[in-house]
Amino acid sequence: MSGPVPIGTKRPWLAFVFSLLVPGAGLAYAGYRRLAVLNLLVAVLLLVGFVVLWPRETLFDWLHYTLLVVGAASGGLAHAAAGRYNRGASSWTAMK
């Protein structure tokens, strides 16, 4: 599995890691720029909502779990996007 990646392909695991670190980064890597911006905005809104609405006394007990869930969800989406890119799918409308 190691070795050079053919030109025009994306590594799904790398897209996952990028989006795990920064939501939307893996989608941008996979070529879905608009979806990447939307993913980043949704992730930021979810985290801001969590911080604003969660009780202060337990906020930091649960914040790391929330960050992990948001990052993993974004990473899963980026992993799928990179796989679709490699198969030549141009849009998300027809899932096969």
- Per-position DSSP letters for 30-47, written without gaps between them: TT-HHHHHHHHHHHHHHH
- CA 4 to CA 49: how far, in whole Å? 42
> What are 21's two structure tokens?
């670190």
Q: Is residue 63 part of a domain?
A: yes
Identify the pLDDT of residue 46: 93
Looking at per-residue pLDDT, the higher value among 52 and 91 belongs to 52
Global pTM reads: 0.80
The pLDDT tens digits of the residues spanning 56-86 come to 888 888 888 999 999 999 999 999 999 998 8
Q: Is residue 94 part of a domain?
A: no
Q: Is residue 93 part of a domain?
A: no
Q: Is residue 27 part of a domain?
A: yes
Q: Is residue 62 part of a domain?
A: yes
Q: Is residue 5 part of a domain?
A: no
Q: What is the DSSP letter of 27?
A: H
Q: Is residue 92 part of a domain?
A: no
How many distinct structural domains can be found in the chain? 1
Boundaries of domain holding 42: 12-87
Q: Is residue 95 part of a domain?
A: no
The pLDDT tens digits of the residues spanning 14-46 come to 999 999 999 999 999 998 999 999 999 999 999
Rg of the chain over CA atoms, in angstroms? Answer: 15
- CA 67 to CA 69: how far, in whole Å? 6
